[in-house]
Amino acid sequence: MLVYLAPCGIGLGHAARCIAIAKELRRRGTDVVFSTYGEAVQFVRKAGFHAIKVPGIEYRQKADGTIDLQLTLAKGPSTIYWFLRQVGAEIYNIGQYKPDIVISDTRLSSVIASAFRITPRILLINQLLIVIPRLKPASRKVLEVKNLFERLSLEFLSRLWSLSNLILIPDFPPPLTISKANLVVKREYADRSMFIGPLIPRRPEELPSREELRKKLGVDDKILVFIALSGTLYEKISLALSLLRIVKRIKGDFLFVISVGMPGGSGVYSVGDNVLFFEWLEDRYEFLKAADVLVSHGGHTTIAEAMYYGIPMILIPTRGHTERIGNARSVEKLGIAEVIPQEKLSLEIFTEKLKIITGNGEYLERCKEVKHIASFFNAANKAADIILSLVNNEEL
């Protein structure tokens, strides 16, 4: 049996959750092959899986990592061209490898290609609704046009997403749902959609105890702040530099560990007495489990990891990135995160949020409650069960 995994290549979160499924399938003796693009190709290969590189699609960004909506829209014709090339590549690859099933993680091209090849297909997605970013105050007319476009895009995409045999939502069901702002399950495919819980490559129980890890990592009695950055290269570098300027000025019993998440990187740098800067961490989960606070952009997978590990968060969503802003607000309401819009990030605000989290025991207690609930979800096992059942025409 061969399972064809096709994660979106923008950032590493989509690939990470597909790797979680791939590991479980491999454990059960099932062969897998990946199809992706961008940094995700090297990321998948570093995890020990075969990855086919296909033409990439991405949105345009400014130097600070914010989405350049005007340039993205201006590049519309070329985006369509590359999308069609990606569809063609997927049709060819699926024809060559002849998988028993295709798992598309937020990749419309893979859904279309597998439908064309009449291959069983599952869509893995946590963002069914596209929300256009609003970076400036807008008039009523502009907002009406924006809302109309969002409704039309939902209707159009819904028809294409519904080509899937099943839709798996890698998120917690309410009230712990992370992507609630972007999840609109249409009636057309509601009976084929299910929450399975977030997918993470490594669960906390697979690691040594927190005390053992803190001793191994030399944390001692310091407050470990783990800064795990995700998203595109622009986003990661921009926020990494901003945070580096801030944290090296913070005094006290803190140890700041910054991971930029560059699969091709290997550099490790010490900045002063309390900052370690990693281009890439081979086992970021050791630092996550040992951490007192997690700082991130607000990507879905990173937030889910913190919830499974019971770590309070400071989230700094990229300006205009509606999915991350929505994710951040969702977990802020759960009482397990503080949010700083990236455009408002400063030494004073970051220090204030850090003091709130580390000085308030309620955050840790609430994180423990969420961790307990999260521990009942094993999404990789659930996804593998569903995939194999669909291939074998068994009842789910």
- Each as own residue / partner, the long-range contacts of residues 249-255 (CB below 8 Å, 24 or more positions apart, any chain) are 249/347, 250/274, 250/347, 250/350, 250/351, 250/354, 252/223, 253/221, 253/222, 253/223, 254/222, 254/223, 254/225, 254/354, 255/219, 255/222, 255/223, 255/224, 255/225
The pLDDT confidence band at residue 190, using thresholds 50, 70 and 90, is confident
Residue 355: predicted pLDDT:
94
Residue 52: predicted pLDDT:
98
Map residue 203 onto helix, strand or coil. Answer: coil
Which has the closest alpha carbon to 171: 330, 6, 337?
330
> For residue 332, how many C-alpha atoms fall within 13 Å in the half-sphere facing its CB?
17
Give dist(CA 20, CA 251) in Å, integer: 38
The 10s digit of each residue's pLDDT in 103-129 is 999 999 999 999 999 999 999 998 866
pTM of the complete model: 0.87
- List helix spans (H) across the chain: 13-27, 39-46, 69-74, 76-97, 108-116, 140-161, 210-216, 233-247, 284-290, 300-309, 322-333, 347-358, 361-374, 379-391
Q: Checking DSSP bridges between strand 31-36 and strand 2-7, what pairing results, if any?
A: parallel
Q: Comparing 383 with 83, which gets the higher pLDDT? A: 383
Least confident of 60-69, 70-79, 332-341: 60-69
Residue 395: predicted pLDDT:
64
Residue 67 has pLDDT above 60, yes or no: no
The pLDDT confidence band at residue 166, using thresholds 50, 70 and 90, is very high
DSSP, residue by residue, 49-79: --EEE-------B-TTS-B-HHHHHHTHHHH
Give dist(CA 69, CA 322) in Å, integer: 12
What structural domains and CATH numbers belong to the chain? 2-201+378-391 (3.40.50.2000), 204-374 (3.40.50.2000)
Q: Comparing 192 with 135, which gets the higher pLDDT? A: 192
Residue 141: predicted pLDDT:
59
Tokens of 341: 């819009």
Residue 156: predicted pLDDT:
58
Residue 103: predicted pLDDT:
98
Residue 146: predicted pLDDT:
47
**Under 8 Å between Cβ of 213 and 286:** yes
Residue 157: predicted pLDDT:
67
Which has the closest alpha carbon to 379: 369, 367, 387?
387
Give dist(CA 83, CA 273) in Å, integer: 47
Beta strands in 151-234 (DSSP E): 166-169, 193-195, 223-228
The 10s digit of each residue's pLDDT in 220-232 is 889 999 999 988 8
Span 87-104, average pLDDT: 97
Q: Comparing 145 with 81, which gets the higher pLDDT? A: 81
The pLDDT confidence band at residue 167, using thresholds 50, 70 and 90, is very high
In Å, the largest CA–CA distance within the chain is 60
Give dist(CA 51, CA 279) in Å, integer: 22
